[in-house]
């Protein structure tokens, strides 16, 4: 199905199933422990061999010698694979560094070997006996030190532009009567998902099957085949349940490759999971940023000049953290400049983490907006709305399909009690707590991706849906079932959903908050094709066929869908240039109240509210869960999350859940989420967008702005920790 014009009335608009609060259909399986994750496919083989990764103990240099004799002689060892014994390996299109290093070492904890043994304990013990001698080389591990030498990135990510210029920013900024010039920093962040990267690999002749934890099946199958040098058709990937990804499982990682190599060498299935430290140093992370923001405004509070420059770092061949991109679209100003600059760093690979670009970018931009509002003597919401725009600021002839940022702020302000906020910092006390409120805009683009599905009428009248779409804890099973039930007129329990298998049609996959809208649009297309086949076989004109109650009705008769058992339809959604003709984005407003202990500087989040405009909400329960999870991650980024870099040896020191702090239940108060009632016909036949990443964009700044309102201390370097607050706290009487 080609989608290149806005959707008109269609079966989704019935709203009998889609849009209703629906508990996750996979919930009972997960709570009962019956949903198998990657490391838990015990039924496939009674006793797989176990792989354990040997990783580099330096960040840059080469392996001068590797002595495997003691390891090979250790009890239970079956085989050891290194780059010398693995044969010629390619590199996936989406991998920056090689997943199996040697003799060259590209980053700390890069995999150098995999030891395969009968048990985990034997593999781990033997791996400790591998004796490696290194020749170290000087590395670059400090973004601030490399910043002066960082050139423009080769691209600006999805936008394709690393530098943009509109008008004459320099001249407009110089003559602006009110100016802001401030620099903000965000640290490296880890995904810290609950389920580790894990894989079970088995060969059957030339055919390889991997049961793994992955967000994007087709991308990863292609890169695994490319790396191994085998046809893509010889690789099957199965990932029906994923215990969190946040972007860290978008691409092929070392666990998949090493399990496959180990299984080939051992001649039997091999199971492998990355220990927690390797999830931080061996896989990917969100890169640190340095961001300089300059605003020029007239005395009435209208921005005339906006500049946002971002610096980040990655391994050679990597890409930037596109922290400036939302600034190109969010606020109006005639004169504009943005730039993404990329330093070469020898740290582990930087890559996508929930809302790449906007999440760290808005942590800076939305503090800057508050600082500028204060300079102008304006309420922070009033200042933002004064600079709202209904068209792309860089291309004024290009409108937004929908832009309800003002509605989000106005409804949120009313619900949160914003009018009662004291604009003067450090004025509100609750016992020993200084209390403040902060606000920030939320913004994330809506991306359109091709997606396919297959639907089949089963003998008992149920409909089976098959697509390689994944469920990473986001509720894909449920909203896909809701879509099929709506289009085919079935009760939800009459739909069977099968996901995460490369044997199924290729979907959009899970990432970028594009999954729900696009995957369901692909299922919609397949179901509409099936409707046509059923109507034809039933002798009913397609336009006159009514699908309801598990039946197709028309021509004065009703026929149960079971009568059409065996009918199969496969189709997908394919987009024209509809997203080029108008800008598709999602919007929101975050409100936060904090308390800061006047004596110790301890910060406690007291209240949170998110108001979201994100197209049709397919399942309010799942959408709310996505947003409150994102809000929680935003609190973590604001107050505690920071990968500490050892700038001498080039690795992340706090590479486990003891040292890398994330929020726990006690850190998070009640979170209120409101979805505006809207449907965007330009997004897809579903008229939905995405919401899972919108929920994190702006939260960090709302927390920071609330802390400033509580204390009068402006912190521009995340995370906002005690030592940054204490020197500036008001005197305690």
Residues marked as catalytic? 693
CA distance linking residue 270 with residue 144, whole number of Å: 42
Q: Are 63 and 103 in contact (CB under 8 A)?
A: yes
Q: Residue 391 pairs with which residues in a beta bridge? A: 399
Q: Residue 453 pairs with which residues in a beta bridge? A: 571
CA distance linking residue 549 with residue 377, whole number of Å: 60
Q: DSSP code of 121?
A: H
CA distance linking residue 149 with residue 353, whole number of Å: 25
Looking at 402-475, list the stretches that DSSP marks H as alpha helix, in order from N- to C-terminal side.
405-416
Place of tokens 């004291």: 422
Complete DSSP assignment for 656-689: STTTS----GGG---EEEEE-----TTT-TT-B-
Complete DSSP assignment for 213-242: --S-HHHHHHHHHHHHTS-GGGEEEE-S--
CA distance linking residue 248 with residue 468, whole number of Å: 18
Q: Are 313 and 342 in contact (CB under 8 A)?
A: yes
Please compute, for residue 718, the number of CA atoms within 13 A of its CA located in the half-sphere on the CB side: 34
Q: Tell me how far CA of residue 708 lies from CA of 51, 293, 636, 729, in angstroms.
A: 50, 18, 17, 10
CA distance linking residue 540 with residue 552, whole number of Å: 9
Complete DSSP assignment for 409-428: HHHHHHHHTGGG--SSTT--
Nearest to 705 by CA among 655, 642, 634: 634
Tokens linked to 724: 């940054």
CA distance linking residue 402 with residue 446, whole number of Å: 11
Contacts of 531-539 with C-beta under 8 Å, sequence gap 24+, read 531/487, 531/488, 532/569, 533/564, 533/567, 533/569, 534/457, 534/561, 534/564, 534/567, 537/564, 537/567, 538/563, 538/564
Nearest to 44 by CA among 270, 254, 367: 270
Looking at 43-102, list the stretches that DSSP marks H as alpha helix, in order from N- to C-terminal side.
69-72
Nearest to 83 by CA among 333, 256, 261, 251: 261
Describe the chain by its helix, strand, coil percentages, rounded to 5: 30, 30, 45
Q: In this structure, what is the dihedral angle of CA atoms 280, 94, 695, 396, given to the nearest 10 degrees?
A: 140
Q: Residue 437 pairs with which residues in a beta bridge? A: 593
CA distance linking residue 56 with residue 281, whole number of Å: 10
The CA-to-CA distance between both ends of the chain, in Å, stands at: 70
Place of tokens 């086949």: 533
């Amino acid at each position: 199905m080609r989608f290149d014009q806005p959707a008109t009335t269609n079966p989704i608009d019935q709203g009998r199933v889609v849009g209703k609060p629906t508990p996750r259909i996979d919930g009972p399986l997960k709570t009962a422990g019956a949903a198998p994750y990657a490391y838990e496919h015990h039924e496939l083989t009674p006793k797989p061999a176990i792989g354990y990764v040997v990783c580099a103990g330096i960040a840059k240099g080469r392996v001068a010698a590797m002595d495997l004799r003691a390891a090979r002689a250790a009890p239970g060892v079956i085989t050891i694979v290194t780059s010398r014994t693995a044969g010629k390996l390619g590199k996936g299109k989406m991998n920056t560094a090689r997943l199996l290093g040697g003799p060259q070492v590209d980053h700390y904890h890069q995999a150098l070997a995999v030891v395969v043994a009968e048990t985990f304990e034997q593999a781990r013990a033997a791996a400790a006996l591998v004796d490696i001698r290194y020749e170290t080389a000087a590395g670059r591990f400090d973004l601030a030190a490399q910043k002066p030498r960082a050139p423009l990135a080769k691209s600006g990510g999805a936008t394709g532009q690393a530098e943009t210029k509109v008008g004459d920013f320099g001249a407009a900024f110089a003559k602006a009567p009110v100016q802001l010039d401030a620099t903000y920093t965000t640290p490296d962040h880890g995904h810290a998902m609950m389920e580790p990267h894990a894989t079970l690999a088995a060969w059957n002749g030339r055919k390889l099957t991997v049961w793994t934890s992955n967000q994007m099946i087709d991308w990863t199958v292609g890169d695994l085949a490319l790396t191994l040098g085998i046809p893509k058709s010889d690789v099957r990937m199965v990932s029906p349940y994923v215990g969190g990804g946040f972007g860290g499982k978008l691409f092929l990682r070392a666990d998949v490759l090493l399990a496959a190599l180990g299984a080939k060498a051992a001649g039997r299935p091999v199971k492998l999971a990355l220990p927690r430290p390797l999830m931080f140093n061996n896989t990917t992370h969100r890169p640190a940023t340095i961001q300089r923001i300059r605003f020029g405004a007239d005395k009435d509070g209208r921005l005339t000049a906006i500049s946002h420059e971002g610096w980040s770092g990655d391994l050679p061949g990597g890409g930037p953290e596109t922290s400036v991109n939302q600034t190109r679209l969010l606020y109006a100003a005639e004169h504009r400049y943005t730039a993404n600059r990329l330093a070469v760093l020898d740290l582990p690979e930087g890559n996508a983490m929930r809302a790449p670009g906007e999440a760290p970018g808005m942590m800076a931009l939305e503090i800057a907006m508050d600082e500028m509002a204060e300079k102008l003597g304006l309420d922070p919401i009033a200042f933002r709305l004064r600079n709202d725009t209904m068209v792309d600021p860089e291309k004024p002839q290009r409108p937004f399909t929908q832009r309800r940022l003002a509605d989000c702020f106005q409804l949120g302000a009313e619900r949160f009690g914003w009018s009662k906020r004291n604009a003067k910092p450090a004025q509100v006390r609750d016992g020993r707590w200084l209390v403040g409120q902060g606000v920030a805009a939320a913004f994330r683009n809506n991306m359109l991706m091709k997606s396919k599905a297959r639907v089949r009428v089963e003998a008992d009248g149920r409909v089976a849906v098959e697509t390689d779409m994944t469920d990473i804890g986001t509720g894909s099973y449920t909203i896909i079932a809701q879509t099929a039930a709506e289009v085919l007129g079935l009760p939800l329990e009459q739909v069977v959903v099968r996901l995460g298998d490369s044997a199924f049609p290729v979907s959009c996959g899970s990432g970028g908050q594009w999954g729900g809208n696009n995957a369901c649009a692909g299922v919609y297309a397949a179901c509409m094709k099936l409707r046509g086949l059923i109507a034809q076989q039933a002798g009913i004109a397609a336009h006159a066929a009514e699908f309801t109650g598990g039946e197709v009705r028309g021509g004065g008769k009703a026929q149960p869908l079971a009568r059409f058992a065996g009918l199969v339809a496969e189709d997908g959604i394919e987009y024209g240039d509809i997203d080029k003709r108008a800008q598709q984005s999602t919007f929101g407003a975050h409100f936060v109240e904090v308390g800061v202990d006047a004596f110790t500087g301890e910060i406690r989040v007291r209240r949170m509210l998110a108001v979201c405009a994100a197209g049709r909400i397919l399942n309010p329960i799942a959408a709310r869960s996505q947003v409150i999870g994102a809000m929680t991650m935003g609190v973590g980024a604001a107050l505690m999350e920071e990968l500490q870099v050892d700038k001498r040896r080039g690795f992340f020191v706090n590479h486990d859940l003891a040292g890398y702090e994330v929020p726990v239940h006690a850190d998070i108060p009640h979170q209120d989420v409101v979805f505006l009632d809207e449907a965007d016909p330009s997004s897809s036949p579903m008229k939905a967008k995405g919401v899972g990443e919108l929920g994190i964009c702006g939260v960090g700044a709302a927390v920071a702005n609330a802390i400033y309102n509580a204390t009068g201390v402006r912190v521009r370097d995340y995370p906002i920790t005690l030592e940054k607050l204490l020197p500036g706290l008001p005197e305690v009487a």
